[in-house]
Amino acid sequence: MKLAKYYLSPGNRSAQLETAGSLGASWVQFGNELLLYTDENQWTGLVGRAAQRTLPLQEYPTTVNRENMYLVVQKGRLFQQEHPEVPVIVDHGRFLLVELDPKQAQQIEVGNLPCFTLRPLEDNQIVFKVSERTDAAAPVASIQNLVNQVSRASLEADLTQLVSYPTRFSTSTHYANAATWAQGRLAAMNYSTQLQSITVNGSTSQNVIADKLGSGMGERDIVLVTAHLDSINHKDGPLAISPGADDNGSGSAGLLQMANVLQNHSSQHDLRFVLFGGEEQGLFGSQQFVAHLSASEQQRIRAVVNMDMIGCLNGPSPSVLLEGAPISQNVMEGLQAAATTYTQLDVQTSLNPYDSDHVPFIQNGIPAVLTIEGADGANDGVHSIRDTIDRINYDLALEILRMNVAFVAISSSG
Ligand SMILES: [Zn+2]
């Protein structure tokens, strides 16, 4: 295959996409970057057609066998750190296009901890989109009032507490202490709380659950806010220091912040906040949480907003990736609308749900969306001793929280 990149310019993306799509090459879209590829004998024709339509293509220097093109979705930089030998063709942080022999790909997949996924590239697919900032709807005063209550000071205080545990490895006593502390925080906000016992690779851990009943008469839905409380240090082992400031102190402190802001919000529907254990070992907490839901409870869940890494700024401007599946399209659209009205965030969207606590919900037909710091760039500290609080960008975390608070307040209202 011969490959070429093409950059879509903001404001005119859909027309450019259509033109690029009509060139007769296969394509894959990563935000504003489109990669076109074609057999070598078709190449001259493609270049000629692109020139006619004045699309400036940037040719990739080498050719690649079609069966060697793989899509990687990684946490932080974990795939690249574990496999520096694999050539990267397109690099968008969380999303990569790499060149891999299928046999080598199989070997890599065996015994891999849940740090990345690897799949053969499908033709003509959108890996993630960057949304155009459309005209924002006017803010609603009561929602704006809640959004304004998102507080840097209390977010910082909670995150400082969370990183003070040497580790939050799910089956450690430090984790149990962190869970008890978080439960106490939620109870002090007048939520009814419980610890749900879970099993992680044969040992015990806990989910922390906090509920607030809605004021609606009759049948009520539930809106869930979730984050994983545990941390991990892959390189140095279970007992090693693992501050997990971004992954996922940021989402956990963010959940406490949302609970704090929404404690006096008189919603029609029920609100439930859940901090999961066992995420880093393979989504144990969220899987067991979903498995314990009755069929009627599952049906009552109108939205799940999951936060996993909301605190590292990986590009020039604050951005968020909304990751869901077709079943969560409404939630994604609601979050996007909230971002446009109540924040300055650039929003990226992806329908490739992967490896965080939104996935067990989606697999059970429940509309869940992951909100995570923007996909571009380099977060190379995840799952290591270097995931420290000094790397946190509070402005970004606060913007993502404003979006989530607005969405949850609107979604639970009526
Ligand atoms: Zn995480």
The pLDDT tens digits of the residues spanning 56-79 come to: 888 988 899 999 999 998 888 888
| Residue 213 falls inside a structural domain | yes
The residue from 128, 149, 164 where one domain ends is 128
Looking at the structure, tell me whether residues 105 and 152 fall in a common domain. no
| Residue 307 falls inside a structural domain | yes
If you measure from the C-alpha of residue 121 to the centroid of ligand 1, how many angstroms do you get, rounded to a whole number? 25
If you measure from the C-alpha of residue 356 to the centroid of ligand 1, how many angstroms do you get, rounded to a whole number? 7
CA distances (Å), 171 to each of 231, 232, 278, 375, in order? 11, 11, 8, 30
CA dihedral of residues 247, 251, 256, 258 (deg, nearest 10)? 170
Q: How far is residue 318 CA from its own chain's centroid?
A: 14
DSSP alpha helix (H) spans, 1-91: 13-21, 43-52, 78-82
Looking at the structure, tell me whether residues 101 and 195 fall in a common domain. no
Sign of the CA dihedral 167, 169, 173, 178?
Answer: positive
If you measure from the C-alpha of residue 252 to the centroid of ligand 1, how many angstroms do you get, rounded to a whole number? 10
- The whole-number pLDDT of residue 112 equals 59
User: In the beta sheet, which residues pair with residue 227?
Assistant: 275, 307
If you measure from the C-alpha of residue 25 to the centroid of ligand 1, how many angstroms do you get, rounded to a whole number? 37
If you measure from the C-alpha of residue 50 to the centroid of ligand 1, how many angstroms do you get, rounded to a whole number? 41
- The whole-number pLDDT of residue 292 equals 97
DSSP string, 254-285: HHHHHHHHHTT---SSEEEEEEESSSTTTSHH
CATH code where residue 71 lies: 3.30.70
- The whole-number pLDDT of residue 146 equals 97
Query: Which residue numbers in the chain have pLDDT < 70?
Result: 110-114, 375-378
| Residue 357 falls inside a structural domain | yes
Looking at the structure, tell me whether residues 192 and 289 fall in a common domain. yes
If you measure from the C-alpha of residue 253 to the centroid of ligand 1, how many angstroms do you get, rounded to a whole number? 13
If you measure from the C-alpha of residue 28 to the centroid of ligand 1, how many angstroms do you get, rounded to a whole number? 26
If you measure from the C-alpha of residue 309 to the centroid of ligand 1, how many angstroms do you get, rounded to a whole number? 6
With beta carbons less than 8 A apart as the criterion, state whether 53 and 6 touch. no
- The whole-number pLDDT of residue 238 equals 84
CATH code where residue 176 lies: 3.40.630.10
If you measure from the C-alpha of residue 300 to the centroid of ligand 1, how many angstroms do you get, rounded to a whole number? 26
Q: Convert 152-165 to b/e letters by CB count within 10 Å (16 or more is b).
A: eebbbebbebbbeb
Distance CA 345, CA 317 (A): 8
Looking at the structure, tell me whether residues 56 and 116 fall in a common domain. yes
pLDDT of 119-157, one tens digit each? 999 999 889 988 777 778 899 999 999 999 999 999 999
If you measure from the C-alpha of residue 334 to the centroid of ligand 1, how many angstroms do you get, rounded to a whole number? 23
The residue from 93, 128, 163 where one domain ends is 128
- The whole-number pLDDT of residue 370 equals 96
| Residue 136 falls inside a structural domain | no
If you measure from the C-alpha of residue 38 to the centroid of ligand 1, how many angstroms do you get, rounded to a whole number? 37
Looking at the structure, tell me whether residues 59 and 192 fall in a common domain. no
- The whole-number pLDDT of residue 78 equals 85
CA distances (Å), 269 to each of 171, 224, 266, in order? 34, 11, 9
- The whole-number pLDDT of residue 381 equals 84
- The whole-number pLDDT of residue 62 equals 85
- Specify the number of domains making up the chain: 2
Dihedral pair phi/psi, residue 96, rounded to 5°: -130, 150
Looking at the structure, tell me whether residues 154 and 124 fall in a common domain. no
CB neighbourhood size of 123 (10 A): 11
Looking at the structure, tell me whether residues 163 and 49 fall in a common domain. no
Looking at the structure, tell me whether residues 120 and 256 fall in a common domain. no
- The whole-number pLDDT of residue 375 equals 63
Looking at the structure, tell me whether residues 89 and 175 fall in a common domain. no
The residue from 128, 158, 185 where one domain ends is 128
If you measure from the C-alpha of residue 354 to the centroid of ligand 1, how many angstroms do you get, rounded to a whole number? 11
Which residue, chain included where needed, has tokens 């419980």?
Answer: 194
- The whole-number pLDDT of residue 324 equals 95
| Residue 135 falls inside a structural domain | no
Looking at the structure, tell me whether residues 85 and 174 fall in a common domain. no
| Residue 133 falls inside a structural domain | no
Looking at the structure, tell me whether residues 309 and 183 fall in a common domain. yes
Distance CA 79, CA 345 (A): 27
If you measure from the C-alpha of residue 76 to the centroid of ligand 1, how many angstroms do you get, rounded to a whole number? 9
pTM reported for the whole predicted model: 0.89
If you measure from the C-alpha of residue 249 to the centroid of ligand 1, how many angstroms do you get, rounded to a whole number? 9
With beta carbons less than 8 A apart as the criterion, state whether 374 and 314 touch. yes
| Residue 267 falls inside a structural domain | yes
Range of the domain at 18: 2-128
With beta carbons less than 8 A apart as the criterion, state whether 116 and 78 touch. yes
If you measure from the C-alpha of residue 290 to the centroid of ligand 1, how many angstroms do you get, rounded to a whole number? 18
If you measure from the C-alpha of residue 310 to the centroid of ligand 1, how many angstroms do you get, rounded to a whole number? 10
| Residue 134 falls inside a structural domain | no
Looking at the structure, tell me whether residues 43 and 86 fall in a common domain. yes
